[in-house]
């Protein structure tokens, strides 16, 4: 039997040629809650996007100077290996977001984009069928076609059965049924966005779900509901990564493991006591240790490129 875990190993990722994640490793087992904490700009969101395979946050290290010019010294950090992400035995590092979702990953975005006219229920219908429908028996998702809707079947569910399942989960999140017919994130309040993301996680039942800043912009009631959602997921065996800056959600959730991410690296890992410690003292001690190094190297890099432009390589 394959290893039942999400294994992230020396994951590198960046955006627009700038390396942000510098070798992140962690292991999440089914039913566990991991919290990733860190100051602004530490690479938390990059980690979330890189896990899901966002094209702009390539796990692949961009072409470095060392590749274009062999004279340029290759730093040890910028190894050409993007690392690996293994979902229950399946390597997904080179897979598209669609294939990663099919492998069992889910990402709840911090500021999800609106897709006007695509209703939540329609999105869920399509996604659920993609994930659980029998291949070759897929019906086209034409929202207005009652005839095709009759043929819809995924994971043994007919469309009406699926719809009542969705309504049940919506009810759990205290979402009105009419909410399901709204265009996804189109004019949603902050709280509605978070709940819409949580609803998708609950319906789509991923093996591992990443929640990026799910606790920002929520009032206490909404925060409790979202935390209940995470617990509900965990009970069904989903491994959860909660990425958080303010740690508000950790009042209502007890993570099994807490990781501290600073300057693209996990600098500390511990139990829930670690998060309490950070809540009291902040990230200061990590920043002095690591941010200094980061700033220096970034500055150095700028000098090096400036030098190359004007006088060539040293």
Partner 1 sequence: MTTTQPIMDTAYKYGFHKPENYVFKSKRGLDEDVVRDISWRKNEPEWMRDMRLRSLEIFRKKPLPLWGADLSHINFDDIYYYIKPTREKAESWAALPPEIRDTYDRIGIPEAEKKFLSGVSAQYESEVVYKSIQGLLEKKGVIFLDMDSALREHPDIIRQYFGTIIPPMDNKFAALNTSVWSGGSFVYVPAGVSVELPLQAYFRINAANMGQFERTLIIAEEGSFVHYVEGCTAPVYSTDSLHSAVVEIIVKRGARVRYTTIQNWSTNVYNLVTKRTRVEEEGIMEWVDGNLGSKVTMKYPSVYLMGRKARGEVLSIAYAGAGQHQDAGGKAIHAASETSSRIISKSISRGGGRTSYRGLVEVVPGATGVKSNVVCDALLLDPLSRSDTYPTMNIREKQVAVEHEATVSKIGDEQLFYLESRGIGKAEAQSMIVNGFIEPIVKELPLEYAVEMNRLIQLQMEGSVG
Kindly tell me which of 66 and 130 has the beta carbon lying closer to partner 1. 130
3-state secondary structure at position 10? strand
Kindly tell me which of 93 and 109 has the beta carbon lying closer to partner 1. 109
If one asks whether residue 199 binds partner 1 (CB under 8 A), the answer comes out as: no
Kindly tell me which of 110 and 263 has the beta carbon lying closer to partner 1. 110
If one asks whether residue 98 binds partner 1 (CB under 8 A), the answer comes out as: yes
Alpha carbon distance 22, 39 (integer Å): 16
Distance in Å, CB of 113 to partner 1, minimum: 4
Q: Are 106 and 200 in contact (CB under 8 A)?
A: yes
Copy the structure tokens of residue 85. Answer: 């992400």
Figure out which of the listed residues 23, 31, 62, 97 binds partner 1, where binding follows CB under 8 A.
97
Query: Please, where are the H alpha helices in 133-271?
Result: 146-151, 159-172, 190-204, 220-235
If one asks whether residue 60 binds partner 1 (CB under 8 A), the answer comes out as: no
**Region at 194 (left for phi over 0; alpha for psi -120 to 50; beta for the rest):** alpha
Q: What is the x/- site pattern for partner 1, positions 18-57, by CB under 8 A?
A: ----------------------------------xxxxx-
Figure out which of the listed residues 141, 216, 224, 231 binds partner 1, where binding follows CB under 8 A.
141
Alpha carbon distance 82, 85 (integer Å): 10
Place of tokens 């980690």: 47
If one asks whether residue 116 binds partner 1 (CB under 8 A), the answer comes out as: yes
Alpha carbon distance 153, 124 (integer Å): 13
Q: List residues binding partner 1 (CB under 8 A).
A: 52-56, 96-98, 100-102, 106-107, 109, 112-113, 115-118, 122-123, 126-127, 130-131, 140-147, 183, 200, 204
């Amino acid at each position: 039997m394959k290893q039942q875990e999400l294994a992230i190993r020396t994951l590198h990722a960046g955006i627009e040629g700038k390396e942000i994640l510098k070798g992140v490793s962690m292991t999440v087992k089914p039913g566990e809650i991991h919290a990733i904490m860190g100051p602004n700009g530490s690479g938390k969101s990059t980690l979330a996007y890189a896990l899901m395979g966002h094209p702009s946050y390539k796990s692949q290290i961009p072409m470095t100077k060392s590749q274009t010019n062999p004279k340029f010294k290759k730093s040890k950090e910028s190894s050409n290996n993007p690392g690996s992400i293994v979902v229950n035995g399946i390597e997904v590092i080179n897979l598209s977001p669609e294939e990663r979702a099919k492998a069992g990953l889910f990402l709840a975005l911090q500021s999800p984009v609106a897709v006007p006219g695509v209703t939540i229920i329609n999105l869920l219908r399509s996604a659920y069928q993609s994930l659980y429908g029998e291949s070759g028996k897929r019906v086209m998702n034409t929202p207005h076609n009652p005839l095709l809707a009759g043929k819809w079947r995924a994971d043994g569910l007919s469309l009406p059965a699926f719809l009542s399942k969705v309504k049940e989960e919506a009810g759990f999140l205290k979402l009105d049924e009419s909410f399901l017919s709204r265009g996804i994130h189109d004019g949603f309040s902050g709280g509605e966005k978070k709940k819409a993301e949580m609803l998708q996680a609950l319906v789509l039942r991923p093996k591992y779900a990443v929640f990026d800043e799910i606790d920002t912009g929520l009032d206490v009631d909404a925060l409790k509901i979202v935390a209940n959602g995470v617990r509900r997921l965990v009970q069904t065996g989903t491994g959860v990564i909660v990425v958080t800056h303010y740690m508000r959600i950790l009042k209502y959730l007890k993570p099994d493991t807490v990781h501290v991410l600073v300057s693209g690296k996990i600098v500390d890992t511990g139990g829930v006591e670690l998060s309490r410690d950070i809540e009291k003292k902040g990230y200061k001690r990590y920043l002095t240790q690591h941010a200094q190094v980061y700033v220096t190297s970034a500055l150095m890099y700028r000098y090096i490129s400036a030098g190359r432009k004007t006088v060539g390589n040293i």
